Every structure is written in structure tokens, then in C-alpha cells.
Structure 1
Amino acid sequence: MRIILLSFIFCLSSLFLFAQKKNDAYKLAIRKASAPIEIDGSIDDAGWQDTDVATNFFMVLPMDTSFAKVRTDVHMTYDDKNLYLIAVCYHALPGPYYVESLRRDFAFGKNDNFLLFMDPFDDQTNGFSFGSNAAGAQWDGTMYEGGKVDLSWDNKWTSVVRNYEDKWIFEAAIPFKSIRYKKGITQWGINFSRLDLKTTEKSSWAPVPRQFPTASLAYTGILDWDQPPPEAGANISVIPYVLGGVSKDYATDAPNEYRRDAGVDAKIAVTSSLNLDLTVNPDFSQVDVDRQVTNLDRFELFFPERRQFFLENGDLFTNFGYASIRPFFSRRIGLGVPIHFGARLSGKLNKDWRLGVMDMQTGKVGDIGLPAQNFAVVALQRRVFARSNIGILMVNKESLNYTSRTDSTKPNYTSYNRNIGLEYNLASSNNLWTGKALLLKSFSPGIDGNDFVHAANLQYSSRKWLINWQHEYVGRNYNAEVGYVPRQGYIKVNPQISYLFFPKSKHILSHGPQLMAFQIYNESFKKTDFQAYLAYIFTFRSQSKLTGWVANDYQKLLVPFDPTRFTGDTLARGTQHRWKSFGVDYISKPQSVFTYAFSSRYGGYYANGSRLNITSELGYRFQPYVSITLSSSYNYISLPEPWKQTTFWLLGPRLDVTMTNTLFFTAFVQYNEQLKNVNLNTRLQWRYKPASDLFIVYTDNYLPAPLSVKNRALVIKLTYWWNI
């Protein structure tokens, strides 16, 4: 109760953390185009000649105390259908640009790029991002939590990049139908970001402190419209697909299994800022395969959602809570079972209110005894003060035609599982203070008591200091069957502090210590876990980074556990384990065509054993068409009987070939010795029209020794984005 009281005091104290928006003085006037705009990468069109220019960018990195050395000029205009932007990105040094490839949604730090961040709701929290690298690869995503970008979102827009001797130019047309915005307002939040790897300079039009991303909506300037943006009109998109495929399970020597499927998604703009998504018989075979990791943790790992249907305004649902306390996790829906249909209404009701309502229906799987299930989620969010909000979430999972289970060989399920939650998200106007306070309760048949969650954190981020306090309580009976909560029955406290020095050095940009600790107790307040972690971090002006660290760990096992997650032999419940470890991490500068990164760990382990781990990633690019990466992880574990010495590898070579910015080929191999599996995934994607694709996906799974096929599959899928 004391912890809960402190959290509410923290919420009340946030009343004093708000002020006027920081960059109101930076305004770019936008007027209706005086002549047609052709998207060709040239600023000579008559329609651009009478537009205002955003120039004199500010440096963000390496330092935020001066104007940018690399010149960038930006113009914007519009007509009845599209918002237009052209960015003229001048070179400061001779030589070629740096890009990874022509692949969409590139890695920000490894590409010369220009990005637009816009807040069409003027709430400093939600928005959209569009941009390109210097070779023409597109970037688009939805913005949430005031400065994060979800690049899994994909929509219909066009752009061209043209390279000149002294500059490169990015020109884009963004249909009003592809974005959501508040009807009738004449001022949007706006900022532009430029990364030039030759000078290692990151800059923005409206100044942003170096400790924050240039995507931070707390620091946007103003896009000042001459009149309210035009209404998008009837805004209905229908996205059908047809699919054919064949698969074979060689392990059981079953005959070939053929697939002939069709389905459809639809997007209906209820208002200019509220969208209805519908889906019937969706298929997600074209989604990128998950990147495997070595799991030596006692709890389940998290893999992010990549399916398009769940992404727009997805933060309303999936960002409720913390990384390890998510009452809703959309990947629980359709996990190994078919989704028959679904609907989702999400977006802004007005400047202060956001709404999300989703309902999904899955089918019955008779061979494993799983019934049809319905998943319903409601999220409501109310903005308070300048950038904070209060949110409510309700989740209901219902098994249809439920019968109690007695066969232990079949998957277990309950007749229902429900969650309700309340959270307060703090974000001060200058973004120096952020935090969250959270309450959750679950409802499951036969469970009463110890089924709620409380957690809170408060973080201060200045140029030199980062200070964070977080605590969590998860009851032993708390149950989120449609969420991600890998651990129950604990109390956790987790302080963190770091400091940066900025020396006058030609090579070192900053350096400083980072100290973090966490302690976990059971509900009787007896300690079960502890870690103290001390690191020292060097960031170089070339953007490479070196980290050295030491750690001290204690763990008391609450259930039997195999420390190799490989042999099947387990340590007993209640045994206590202490060890010390240290390591070094390094990330090379992104400007080179050959890049590398590695992390290492050596020290004690369970049962007075030892563990060595070396993880690396090597990359080489023949820009802009071919990118080759090899990721690897090696573990050597030495333990007493019965484990002795255990070694295993995880290898993941990947080939990306981008013939154009609309034609991509990816081949990804994963050899996982821990799981005794070799996986091959290849995907050819042709974007023959904006947001319309042809996919050819081929997958293989092998036993590593002897190398023999377990199963393989081929899928061909065609989608078409049709605007009505």
C-alpha cells in the first residue's frame, strides 16, 4: 500500500512539470499549390517556386550547440488529394553517399537519410513518419508515445530520389487518404531530420536536445496551413489477396498438402482521424520470419508483432503496461489456429480522446482439441496536461462451446480470461520527465485473490544524466492469457543511473558510467533474485561505441530448471546460485561498407559453473543493391555432473538483394544447435503498384545431424490495394 501511495504522489507531482510547447517559434507556412506537382526529384516545377522554405537546420549530433554544417532545404505544399514535400539534401564533403540497400524501412543509423515527422493531431504524442535514404528506399511508420516509430505500418504513397553532383533530392506525394488527421485544425506539429554519415552529423529543422531522438514530438515546429487541410472524402480501401501453396512433412512421410486460399482486408475512414479495419480469412505467410535467439533464461522470450492488420494505432492496445507486463499481446491471437474474421475501430475521437475496439474470431482445431475462441479488446485514452494521458484497457478471451479438460495430452484452456487495467502515462512538455503508473486485475474461473498488478516508474533524462526508478508487483494468481507476463508472484525494485562526460577530444564524443540494480522478492518479501550491473560506455565521433561491464548475480530457483535448456537435466527447486561476470561490447562505425559488432560475456554460472558467450554480427554491402550479414552466437557452459561441458552455436547468415526499391529478394538461414534445427526462409517481393505486392515464399526445416529435411513449403501470394 505504501508503494501504491507513492505512485499516486508521483502522479500528482507531475502537475508541476508542464509548460508551453518548446518550438512554437519555428513555423513553416504551407499554401495550396499554384501549379501541378510532378514527383520526379526536381525542384524546377512551377508549383515549388512560390513555397516557403525550411532551412538553417540545427545540429543534434555530435553536439546540439550550433547550426548544422550540412545544408538541407525543405518545401511543402498540397492540393485537393495529396500533401507534397521536397527536400534538397546538399553534400558537405565529396564522395558517395552511404546506404545499406534499397529495402523499405531501413535502419536509421546505417543510411544517409531524410525523414519527416508530423503530428497532425497537434497532441505531441501520435503521428506519422515518412522519408527515404539517399538511394530512394522508402521509410514509413506510425508514431506513438511521443517519439517512437513503428515501421511495420505500411500505406499507399509515392516518392522519388534523384542524385546530383552536389546534392540529392527527395520528393514525395502523401495522399490525405493514407493518413489520419484532425478535421478543421490549421496547425500541425512538424519536424525534419537529416542524417549525413560522411560528416557523422544528425540535424533537425526545429532544435532537439541530443539526448532525444529527432522523432521527439515534444520538439516539433509548426506547419501553418493557409486553410484547414481538405477532407479526404470517401475513404475506403479494399485489399484482397489470393494464395496458392504446397507443403510436405517429411518426418511423418505424409502426402503433399495443398493450399488454395483467398481473403480480404478493408480500411474504412469513419472520420478523418478514426478508422475501421475489417479482415476475413487473413493470411500472414508473407511476414518476415522471426530472428531466433539463444534462450538461457528461465522465462518465455518476447517476439514483436509483424502482421499488418494489428499495427495501425497498435500502441493503444499493445503498449499498455511494461515490456514484461503486457495484458494484451496480439501474437496470442491466431497462434497456430486460423483467424476467421476480425474488426478493429481505432483512432482519435477528438484532440483529447483516443479509442480502440477490436474483436477477433478464431476457428476450432479439432485434432488438438482447441475450441473456437473470441478475443475482444477495448482501449480508451484521455489526454491530460500537455502530453500525458490516462488509459483504460479491457481484454476478454472467451472459449466457445467450452467443455472441461481431462486429457493432459491436449492443450489446456479455460472458459474465459478477462483483464481490466488503468494506467497514467507521464510526459513533461520538454520530455525531461517521463513515467508510468499501472494497475491491472485479471478474472479467471476458480481464482479469487492475488490476481492484480501494480507497477510504476519515473525517469529524468537530461544531456548528462539519466535517472530512473521502477517498481513492480505481480500477484501469483494474475493471469493474462492474451498477454505477455512471463513471471507471476513477485515484487521488483529497479533503480538506474548514468552520467555522460563530453571531453574536448577529436575522437571521443562522450563517455561515462551506468549503474543499474534490481532486486526481486516473493510475496512474503523474501529475496529470490538480485543483479548489480556497472558499465562504462565510450561513444566515438565516428558513431562507433565501446562498452565494458561487470555484474554480480543471485538467483533462487522457484521451479526445476535446466541451465543449458538443452540436455533435459534440471537443478532442484529452491537451490540458490551466485556468480560474477564481465564482458565487452563493441559496435563499429556505420560509414564503412564492412560493419561489425560483437558482445562477450565470461564468468560464473549456475551450480558453481562457468559460461562463455560470444555474439557477433558481420555485414558487408555492395551498395545499394546487395547486403550480406552473418550473425552468430557461441556458448560454452561448464557445469558439474550430469551436464559437464556443453557447447552450442546459433548461426544466421542473411542475404538481401534489392534490385530496385520495389523488387526485393531475401534469403535467411538459421542454424540453431540448441533447438537442433536448420531453417531456410527465402522471400521474393515485387511491389508492382503502391502497397500492392506479389510474394513468393519458400521455407525449409532440417535436422542438423544428419542433414535431413523435416518439412518444406512454397507459397505464392498476390495482394492488391484498391481505393474506392
Structure 2
Amino acid sequence: MKKTLLLLTILFINILSAQAQKINESTQYHIKPATGKINIDGNLEDPAWKDTELGGDFWMITPTDTAKAKGKTEFRFTYDENFLYVAAICHESIKNKSYIVESLKRDFSFGNNDNLWLILEPFNDLTNGFVFGTNAAGAQFDGIISEGTNLNANWDNKWYSSTKYMGDHWVMEAAIPFKTLRYKAGETRWGMNFSRLDLKSNEKSCWARIPKQFFSITLAYTGSLVWDTPPPTPKNNFSIIPYALTGVNKDYAKGTDATIRKDVGVDAKIAVSSALNLDLTVNPDFSQVDVDQQVTNLDRFELFFPERRQFFLENSDLFNNFGFKSIRPFFSRRIGLGSPIQFGARLSGKLNNNLRIGLMNMQTDPNSALGKPTQNFSTLVLQQKVFSRSNIGLMFLNKEALNFDENKNVGYTKYNRNLGFEYNLASASNLWTGKFLVLKSFTPKATNSTNTASGDDFVQATSLSHNGTHWVIQWQHEYVGKNYNAEVGYVPRVGYFKIDPALTYLLYPKSPTSKVFVHGPTVESVNYWNTSSKLTDYTNIFAYGIQMKNRSALTLWTAKDYVKLQFKFNPLNPYTSEYYVANQSEHSWHSAGFDYVSTSKRLLTYTLSTRVGGYYGDGTRVGITGLVGYRFQPYVSFSVGADYNDIRNVSVANSANDIISKQSAKFFLIRSKVDITFTNNLYWTTYFQYNEQQKNVNLNTRIQWRYKPASDIFLVYTDNYVPNSFGIKDRAIVLKMTYWWNV
């Protein structure tokens, strides 16, 4: 491990020794102030638009990145004291065909809609930015970009747009308040690009040229939005967002009386500077957040569900992206888990062009039923840009129990702290990316715990990726000590060393008549050792992927697995302990399957995944997952999906360890979703989920009316039932109103 780490460190230094000028520096648009009033109506008839520079001349990204786009796109920018204005005309290369969209709902999927996105990178650092866009029917999309390519579409803010479809072209016109953006005062050059998808012609295009192997939001390839004078700095950039809520909850399983909710709370957003924002919250409520999509869990470890609560999203990469996918010292969903948040504050943004800060303090109520004390969560993150696009990050995290009582708070610790350092590599062209991570935890022994182990409470992990046109080469290794503890993080597995190399070769057919966009093989080997250097797991995978020009895709795969368990485990259902296979027992099997995604061009879409092969305890497992969707565009989108797992002849013992037998289990999970979008400001979404493994039926239906930008009224109804009898477990209905008030 030490030799590998040394070699990778040397490679990092060699890669970083070369710096390059911004790749698309010569691709520029010059923006000037508006000469008159701009009305956001989608008509582009205001005389002020005629006085602006006309931009266009888009490049294809797919199916080829060496030609100009066939579907012509033209755009214009201007601004006044309060708004950045953008307008675009998207001409159709295939005439007499209606647009393709999912619905009018906000934050649509890029790949399933005819749409245009504006990518803004106000700091010109090629790392952090914003996305604003619409589909051809007028639905809005906004999000934030971090680490050069990572998009968080859950971010939501205040801006205005109007779209008109004219048959042979469609028009997008938007006004983005400077108060919505974060940027350095006095900066006269912003990174900027457009990304357009025209599903009818299977063409994805951009203004500043991007190689086909990269996402169209990749900030390394932005052009420049050049201001004649620095953009205005907003005055009194202070927003208050109060909410009022009423509702009824009843727990039928416990037989308790119905509880009437009457809550109020408030969030505030204060621009400390044009680049630094302070978020405050008192008594927040997140009842309107979309429910998690349930899954059948047949894994030994905890599942991950993403953060959707708005308060945690701005500059969330500083906090939640620290670490690796399965080594996260901070995971905001831990805050408020089983204990409501009393109040919180977040200071995040840029102190200067190269230094970012994230400072958070949150406090939760106690939970006497669980013996849980009042807890305070404090986090400090500093991120310093180095070289062309890389950065160094430091994190300190402290979870402190207030008024801690060893007799009352049994099983909890007085504090848990983490100190971390990471280096994020991103070459100028985004060809090389990677990360070097070190973490150390500090935790006293839990009250009444018999665990007296100390030491081995650190993490070291490294990754490196080469993202070439044909060769994609990846390496990752991780060491997580057996006593490492991240109580506010997501670290489902401890006490291991992991090596994970992967290699992909991509082939692009040269024939213009080929229906295939790209295809090629992938090999990967995921290997785990325990802290005594004994091999405990491996998965060797061979896959072959085919992506068509119409955006459908097929992947065929086969794998060999080996597991030597480090703790006893129920392979039939991890949520119960009725049967298990023993600690230190060994298991190996072969499996194979395929994954298929249909083209999003058609009204009827579907996906299908299969798995067949061996399983723990010399058993077998067959898994099938499918999803079928249909849209009555642009107003209704419907989908229904199912997961089926058939596990047979698994050799297990019962919980008393006195019976060895062959056991089998079958699990169905059914989910459906209906989106009705009456307008692009009025949505009705209904989820229905049946999870046989968890013995639960869930119904969640939500009506959202965005009566003003970023101001909403929600009506949410939730039921949970027992599957067989449909007896009610619990029921809730909530009416909530929020208002975004710019002071």
C-alpha cells in the first residue's frame, strides 16, 4: 500500500507540473447594458434586444464533436441594475415535428427533453457554476455545478423565464436576478456556455466546443462572457423566507390520538458579499420534500439516499462532497434524523478568487424516547484552489451532546469529531481527475459500552482517473480503520483495505449511417482485505456497453464474487434476524445480466435490468427490475416499475444457531409515479410504493402551486399501510405556505 501511495503521489506531481491557459478563451461574447426595458414574454420584440451582440455558431457534442450543429441556435445577452437577461432562438433541423418533453415540471431530466441550458461560471475558476434553462414547453431547470462536472439539480432559486414554441423554432427568454448569483465584485470575465439537446435529430450541441466524452456542463470548456464594465453588485441582498404550516398526524399502529400541527418557521439568506452567503433557519420544516424511492436491500451495508432539503444545498459540495462516495465524514441527512432541528446557520462561498469557506452550526431537539440528548453539529471547511483547476480542502467536524448525562443518554457519546484533509486533482482539460484523502476521528467510549478499542481510527484513500476519448482508466484504493467513527457521516463499512482498478475502451463507428454512437468493453476488479491483510471480498466484472445515437443503451455483464463474512448476516432479508450465515463463513458464485434503457424520443419509454446467478450459502438469486413510462406531453407523465428478487436454497442457521436448513424468499417492490403539470407553476405528483421486504405500502401525493417565483403552497397527503390487510399504519396531511421576500 505504501509503495502504491508513493507512486501515485509522484504521478500527481508530474501531472500538476504543467498548467495551461483556459481552453476556450478565444470563444467570447461581449455583453453591454440594456438600452431599454426588457419584458420577459418570449417575443423578443423589445427594441433593446436589437442593440445586443448576436451569438451562435454551435458545435455538436454528439453524435460527433468535429462538426458544427445542424440545428442552429442564436442567443443574446444584456443587463441592467438588477437582472442578467438572456434570450435564445432554437431552430429545428427536422421540420414539422412537435417537441419532445416529459412535462412542465421544474428540474426536468436533460436527456429526456428538447431543451437549452445556460451554464454560468461567474468566478471563471473552471470549477463552480450555475445552470439555468428551460425545455421547449417552458418548464424551468436550475442547479449548481461543483468540482467542474457535478450537477446538483435540487438547488432552487428565484428567476424568471418565458418560452414560446413556433413550429420550426422555439424561443427562450429569461431574467436572472444578480441577487440569485454569487460572483466576485469587479470581475469582468465570466465563464459561460450553452448546452442544447434536440432529441428529434439526436443532436447535443454547445457554444464553446466540448469533446464528446465529457458532460456538456463540464466547466473546463466554458467560453467567456466579457462585460464592458463590471456587473452591478446587488444592494440590500437580504431575503426572508417564512413558512406557516398546519396539518394532522395520526399513528394508527400505536393507537394514539391524532396530533394537530401548527408550526411556523423562517429561513433567511443574507449576502455578506456578492460571493459569500449566510443562510439562517429557525424551526425548519421539510415535509414537502419528495419521498425517497424505496429499494429492496439485499446488501450487508446501509443504503445511501441523497439530500434534498433546500437549506443544505447551496455550496453543498464543500460539505457533502468531502471524501469519497462511501467515505463521507459529513452527510447532512444525519442532522435532524429522529430529532427536529431547532435552528441553524451556514456561511458559505468565496473569501477571494481562490479560497472558499463553509461554516455550519445546527442544533437539534432531544428525543427522550430514545434517550437522545440535544445535539449540536459544527462544521468548518476551507478549500484553496491550486494549479489550474485543482484544490486542497480541510474539514473539521464536531458533534457535541449538550447537557450530556451518562445515565440517561445510554449508548450515545458526548462528542464525535473528525479532522480531514483532501487534495482534489482536475487537470486543465479534465483529462485527469483524482483525489487524495486523509481522515482522523476522535470519539470517547460510548456510555456502558464494552468496546475499549483505541487507535486505528483513521482513513486514507486515493483515486485517479484518465478520461480519454477511447481509453478510460481508473484506480482507487481505500483504507478505513476498524475504529474510525463518523457519526455525522456516511461510512457504511470500516476495518478494510480496498483496491478497485477499472479499464474501459470506447469505439466510435466512423460510418455516418451507423445507428451506434459508441460501444466497448469494461473490466473491473473490486478487492477487499481486512486489517489483518486477509482477503475478504472480491468482485471481478466484465461488461460490454452499447449506446445508440437515439440515446438508448444496452450493457451486458458477467461477474465472479467471493465473500468471507466479517460478521453474521441474513442474506434473505437484512432487516430481520430470523436466519443468517455465520461470521467467517465463505461464499462464492458467478452471475450475469443486462441493463437496457430505451430511447427517450418516444412517448412510451422503458428500462429493464436482469440478474441471474449464485448467492450466499450456495443459493441462487434471480433479479428483474423494470420501469415503463408514458407521457401525454406536456401535461401528464406516468410511470410504473417493479423489482422482483427470487432467492432459493440458501444454507442458513436460525438465530439460536441450532438449526441448519435451506431457506428461500421472494420479494416484490412495486412503485408508480404520476406527474400532472397543469402549468409550469402548478404540479400534482403522486407516488405509490409497495415494499414486500419492509412490509409496507406507501402513498404520497403532493400538490405544489408556485404562486410567485420561489414562493409555494404545498398540500401533502401521506399514508402507510400493512400490505395484506391494507390496515392503516399512519396517516398525515399537511398544508404549507412559503413566501420569498426580498428585503
| TM-score interval (norm. to shorter) | over 0.9
Query: How much does 1:6 deviate?
Result: 3.3
Query: How much does 1:648 deviate?
Result: 1.0
Match of 1:453 in 2: 459
Match of 2:87 in 1: 86
One-letter code aligned to 2:475: W
Query: How much does 1:381 deviate?
Result: 0.3
Residue 520 of structure 2 is aligned with which of 487, 500, 512? Answer: 512
One-letter code aligned to 1:463: T
- Pairwise mapping of residues 457-536 of structure 1 onto structure 2 (< 5 A)? 457-503=463-509, 504=511, 505-536=513-544
1:439 lines up with 2:438 in the alignment: yes
Query: How much does 1:35 deviate?
Result: 1.0
Instruction: Determine the C-alpha separation between the residues in 2 that align with 1:647 and 1:17.
Output: 56
Instruction: Determine the C-alpha separation between the residues in 1 that align with 2:594 and 2:13.
Output: 41
Query: TM-score w.r.t. structure 2 length?
Result: 0.96
Q: Note if contact 1:75-1:85 (Cα within 8 Å) is conserved in structure 2.
A: yes
Q: Note if contact 2:507-2:518 (Cα within 8 Å) is conserved in structure 1.
A: yes
Match of 2:708 in 1: 689
Match of 2:74 in 1: 73
Instruction: Determine the C-alpha separation between the residues in 2 that align with 1:723 and 1:475.
Output: 48
Q: Note if contact 2:338-2:367 (Cα within 8 Å) is conserved in structure 1.
A: no
Query: How much does 1:8 deviate?
Result: 2.8
Match of 1:344 in 2: 346
Q: Note if contact 1:122-1:188 (Cα within 8 Å) is conserved in structure 2.
A: yes
Query: How much does 1:535 deviate?
Result: 0.3
Instruction: Determine the C-alpha separation between the residues in 2 that align with 1:471 and 1:175.
Output: 44
One-letter code aligned to 1:535: A
Match of 1:248 in 2: 250
Match of 1:655 in 2: 674
Instruction: Determine the C-alpha separation between the residues in 1 that align with 2:707 and 2:399.
Output: 39
Residue deviations 1:21-72, cap 9 Å, x none? 1100100000000111110101221111011122110000111010001100
One-letter code aligned to 1:452: F
Residue 631 of structure 2 is aligned with which of 617, 621, 624? Answer: 621
Query: How much does 1:142 deviate?
Result: 1.1
Q: Note if contact 1:360-1:376 (Cα within 8 Å) is conserved in structure 2.
A: yes
Residue deviations 1:232-254, cap 9 Å, x none? 11100000000001011111221
Residue 666 of structure 1 is aligned with which of 655, 664, 685? Answer: 685
Match of 1:361 in 2: 363
Instruction: Determine the C-alpha separation between the residues in 2 that align with 1:662 and 1:289.
Output: 20
Instruction: Determine the C-alpha separation between the residues in 2 that align with 1:171 and 1:349.
Output: 33
Residue deviations 1:398-437, cap 9 Å, x none? 001112258xxx8721000000000000000000000000
Query: How much does 1:448 deviate?
Result: 3.4
One-letter code aligned to 2:614: G
* Shift >6 Å, 4+ stretches: none
- Pairwise mapping of residues 562-711 of structure 1 onto structure 2 (< 5 A)? 562-565=570-573, 568-640=578-650, 642-711=661-730
Query: How much does 1:259 deviate?
Result: 0.6
Query: How much does 1:640 deviate?
Result: 3.9
1:414 lines up with 2:422 in the alignment: no
Query: How much does 1:10 deviate?
Result: 3.4
Residue deviations 1:590-625, cap 9 Å, x none? 100000001000001011110000001100000000
| Total equivalences in the alignment | 721
Instruction: Determine the C-alpha separation between the residues in 2 that align with 1:17 and 1:218.
Output: 15
Match of 2:448 in 1: none
One-letter code aligned to 1:655: V
One-letter code aligned to 1:263: G
Q: Note if contact 2:158-2:710 (Cα within 8 Å) is conserved in structure 1.
A: yes
Q: Percent identity?
A: 55
Question: SS of 1:5's equivalent?
Answer: helix
Question: SS of 2:395's equivalent?
Answer: strand
One-letter code aligned to 1:69: K
One-letter code aligned to 1:421: G
Q: Note if contact 2:572-2:664 (Cα within 8 Å) is conserved in structure 1.
A: no
Residue deviations 1:117-174, cap 9 Å, x none? 0100110000111000000000001110102221111111100001112110000000
Question: SS of 2:179's equivalent?
Answer: helix
Query: How much does 1:494 deviate?
Result: 0.3
Instruction: Determine the C-alpha separation between the residues in 1 that align with 2:584 and 2:649.
Output: 18
Residue deviations 1:671-703, cap 9 Å, x none? 000000000000000000000000000000000
- Pairwise mapping of residues 314-333 of structure 1 onto structure 2 (< 5 A)? 314-333=316-335
Question: SS of 1:477's equivalent?
Answer: coil
Instruction: Determine the C-alpha separation between the residues in 1 that align with 2:241 and 2:398.
Output: 28
Instruction: Determine the C-alpha separation between the residues in 2 that align with 1:405 and 1:202.
Output: 62
Query: How much does 1:7 deviate?
Result: 4.0
Question: SS of 1:657's equivalent?
Answer: strand
Question: SS of 1:621's equivalent?
Answer: strand
Question: SS of 1:603's equivalent?
Answer: strand
Q: Note if contact 2:105-2:677 (Cα within 8 Å) is conserved in structure 1.
A: yes
Alpha carbons of structure 1 residues 60 and 405: separation in structure 2 relative to 1, 3 Å: farther
Instruction: Determine the C-alpha separation between the residues in 2 that align with 1:368 and 1:470.
Output: 39
Question: SS of 1:149's equivalent?
Answer: strand
Instruction: Determine the C-alpha separation between the residues in 2 that align with 1:13 and 1:525.
Output: 31
Query: How much does 1:644 deviate?
Result: 2.7
Residue 275 of structure 1 is aligned with which of 274, 277, 280? Answer: 277
> Structure 1 stretch 451-460 or stretch 48-57: which is displaced more?
48-57
Question: SS of 1:180's equivalent?
Answer: coil
Instruction: Determine the C-alpha separation between the residues in 2 that align with 1:585 and 1:278.
Output: 44
Question: SS of 2:111's equivalent?
Answer: helix
One-letter code aligned to 1:438: L
Instruction: Determine the C-alpha separation between the residues in 2 that align with 1:411 and 1:543.
Output: 54
Instruction: Determine the C-alpha separation between the residues in 2 that align with 1:399 and 1:622.
Output: 52
Query: TM-score w.r.t. structure 1 length?
Result: 0.98
Query: How much does 1:292 deviate?
Result: 0.7
Instruction: Determine the C-alpha separation between the residues in 2 that align with 1:68 and 1:339.
Output: 50
One-letter code aligned to 2:563: Q
1:205 lines up with 2:224 in the alignment: no
One-letter code aligned to 2:413: T
Residue deviations 1:166-207, cap 9 Å, x none? 110000000000110111010000000110000010000000
Instruction: Determine the C-alpha separation between the residues in 1 that align with 2:410 and 2:518.
Output: 53
Residue deviations 1:262-303, cap 9 Å, x none? 000000000000000000000000100000111100000000
Residue deviations 1:423-462, cap 9 Å, x none? 0000000000000000000000146310000000110011
Q: Note if contact 2:118-2:133 (Cα within 8 Å) is conserved in structure 1.
A: yes
- Pairwise mapping of residues 111-260 of structure 1 onto structure 2 (< 5 A)? 111-260=113-262
Q: Note if contact 2:620-2:650 (Cα within 8 Å) is conserved in structure 1.
A: no
One-letter code aligned to 1:55: G
Question: SS of 2:201's equivalent?
Answer: coil
One-letter code aligned to 2:487: E
Instruction: Determine the C-alpha separation between the residues in 2 that align with 1:580 and 1:154.
Output: 45
